Amino acid sequence: MQPRLSLVTLGVADVALSRAFYGRLGFVESSAGNENVAFFQAGGVVLALFGQQALAEDAGIAFAAPGYRGVTLAHNVATREQVAEVLAEAERAGARIVKPAQDVFWGGHSGYFADPDGHLWEVAWNPFFPLDAGGRVLLP
């Protein structure tokens, strides 16, 4: 696994309200978003906003589960195959696999692991978000 945090997604109660708030703060939204999700280039990382229930469901976790934090860290990879490879590496490092690598509704391929404290990492291949030479996500 390359040592890289690609995106931070915050679960929010109201995407429209939160995207307006971050817009007022000075964050500039990418055209990649839609009514359900907002993406902002936030320096060397992407900040995303997504409905809090949907964010939990994406990891296969109940929103009301004890200890659920409503935040997902993402590590984006360059190829579909690397998703399963990185998840296997994480498991060898002691991570708990939360969701095995699989195709996802938005057209990518991803899986989830949890660190020792339950912080959730998504490992994702997103064909719509290319990576630059340094492995950083380039938003459209």
Q: Which residues bind a copy of itself (CB under 8 A)?
A: 1-6, 8, 10-14, 17-18, 21-22, 24-28, 40-45, 47, 52, 69-71, 73, 89-90, 92-95, 115-117, 119, 134-136
CA atoms within 13 A on the CB side of 30: 19
Compute the distance between CA of residue 127 and CA of residue 110 in angstroms, rounded to an integer: 11
> Contact at 8 Å (CB) between 129 and 32?
yes
Query: Shortest Cβ distance from residue 102 to a copy of itself (Å)?
Result: 21
DSSP-derived 3-state class of residue 84: helix
Pick 81 or 103: Cβ nearer a copy of itself: 81
Task: From residue 100, give the alpha-carbon distance in Å to each of 7, 48, 93.
Answer: 19, 22, 16
Pick 2 or 34: Cβ nearer a copy of itself: 2
Query: Shortest Cβ distance from residue 92 to a copy of itself (Å)?
Result: 8
Compute the distance between CA of residue 77 and CA of residue 86 in angstroms, rounded to an integer: 9
Query: Shortest Cβ distance from residue 15 to a copy of itself (Å)?
Result: 11
Query: Shortest Cβ distance from residue 104 to a copy of itself (Å)?
Result: 22
